[in-house]
Structure 1
Amino acid sequence: MTDKVFRLHQGTSPLLVSMPHTGTHIPPELLPAFVPRALDVEDTDWHLHLLYDFVQTMGASVLQPHVSRYVIDLNRPPDDAPMYPGASNTELCPTRFFTGEALYLPGQEPA
């Protein structure tokens, strides 16, 4: 994958606004591996970047993904520990929807 994973706008204040689920891009080499439902990137936080577009004028830094959370979820710990014990969690590099259904076609899940 040669695409940029995220964009960081460096602000002038000590405030960082992270929008970890606004990315929608799935690299072309991964597209054939996903189930059709995954291509709709339904777990995207649609329009969140529009809601918070004013924060840059306040000097905030902004971290925004380019790729979909189905490629990498920037809101997950690197050790893949569950964020919400007992709840439905996805991995750093998700393999399932929150409903438990597979994101990838059989045999296409990344190793």
Structure 2
Amino acid sequence: MSVFEVRQGTSPVILGFPHTGTDVPAEIWERLNDTGRLLADTDWHIHKLYEGLLPDVTVVRATFHRYVIDANRDPENVSLYPGQNTTGLIPETDFDGLQIWKDGEAPTETDTAERLRQFHAPYHAAFLAEIERVKAIHGIAIVYDCHSIRSHIPFLFDGKLPDLNIGTDMGRTCAPDIEKAAVDIAASAEGYTSILNGRFKGGWTTRHYGRPESGVHAIQMELAQSTHLAAEEPPFALDADKAERLRAPLRAILQRIENTAFDLKTLTGSEA
């Protein structure tokens, strides 16, 4: 079983999907309790939501579930949001703070080391290879990390999450023009709310790869699942009408980001 999928393109944009995978090896599945087996914290369907929005885009997608190991967490398990509730490299709870492992079956340090080797490291090796390939073509690469989450999760945040949540680690992970491209389109998207660097400021993928000074830019988009699911509860079915409507602003964001990448390349020469 491959732990990741890659589709190579020639665009300067790379789409990352660390949390759409639902594969759980049998020996790990047996250790999950009934809550864990719901796989409720999946970024449901968003690899389908983005399908075909930008021609020749590169895609890197983890096929394993985040309960196996979270591909968007620091391998040293350093918290992305110190002082706030969150989940770790191998989650102990779901996003509601409920235990996901059977009694006595929580992952050990040995499990963590093995899953880093078997899942986390190969995914990021593939991701880095695509960044280097795309940058060799254009002199610039833009990582657009794709996420979704339920719109109401009191354990993680108060109230209702905005629809479109853009994260750039307070502007550190990409050029201002790239950030502005996403923010402007999101803000003008009729019927949707948006925010920049709100509760979600960019996960480990965005913060790790986003090095504008080296020509690699990164930006995260966290979608509220109310924008594209029929209901934010099992079976987490995609609402085709909602999804089609949402695809329009997402397409515009990706196109604007890609055009901005070409503009930056022109302004700075082969290095961005």
Question: Which TM-score applies when normalising by structure 1?
Answer: 0.86
The alignment status of 1:69 with 2:94, answered yes or no, reads no
The whole-number CA distance in structure 2 between the counterparts of 1:37 and 1:90 is: 15
Specify the alignment match of 1:34 in structure 2: 32
1:28 Cα deviation after fit: 0.8
* CA deviation vs aligned residue, 1:42-71 (integer Å, no higher than 9, x gap): 11111101110014x522211111111111
Read off the aligned partner of 2:46 and give its amino acid letter.
L
The whole-number CA distance in structure 2 between the counterparts of 1:4 and 1:109 is: 24
SS where residue 35 of structure 2 aligns? helix
1:90 Cα deviation after fit: 1.1
Partner residue of 1:103 out of 100, 103, 112? 100
Read off the aligned partner of 1:85 and give its amino acid letter.
P
Identity %, equivalent residues: 38
The whole-number CA distance in structure 1 between the counterparts of 2:33 and 2:14 is: 34
Specify the alignment match of 2:81 in structure 1: 84
Read off the aligned partner of 2:67 and give its amino acid letter.
Y
* CA deviation vs aligned residue, 1:18-45 (integer Å, no higher than 9, x gap): 1221111111111110011111111111
The whole-number CA distance in structure 1 between the counterparts of 2:92 and 2:104 is: 12
The whole-number CA distance in structure 2 between the counterparts of 1:5 and 1:93 is: 16
Question: Which TM-score applies when normalising by structure 2?
Answer: 0.38
| Bigger RCO of structures 1 and 2 (CA < 8 A, at least 6 apart) | 1
The whole-number CA distance in structure 2 between the counterparts of 1:67 and 1:51 is: 19
* CA deviation vs aligned residue, 1:80-108 (integer Å, no higher than 9, x gap): 11112222211122222122222111111
Read off the aligned partner of 1:92 and give its amino acid letter.
L
Q: Rg: which structure is higher?
A: 2
SS where residue 108 of structure 1 aligns? coil
The whole-number CA distance in structure 2 between the counterparts of 1:35 and 1:28 is: 13
Give the aligned CA root-mean-square deviation in angstroms.
1.5
Tell me the matched-pair count. 108
The whole-number CA distance in structure 2 between the counterparts of 1:22 and 1:58 is: 21
1:15 Cα deviation after fit: 1.3
1:4 Cα deviation after fit: 2.3
The whole-number CA distance in structure 2 between the counterparts of 1:102 and 1:5 is: 25
Specify the alignment match of 2:91 in structure 1: 94
Specify the alignment match of 2:7 in structure 1: 9
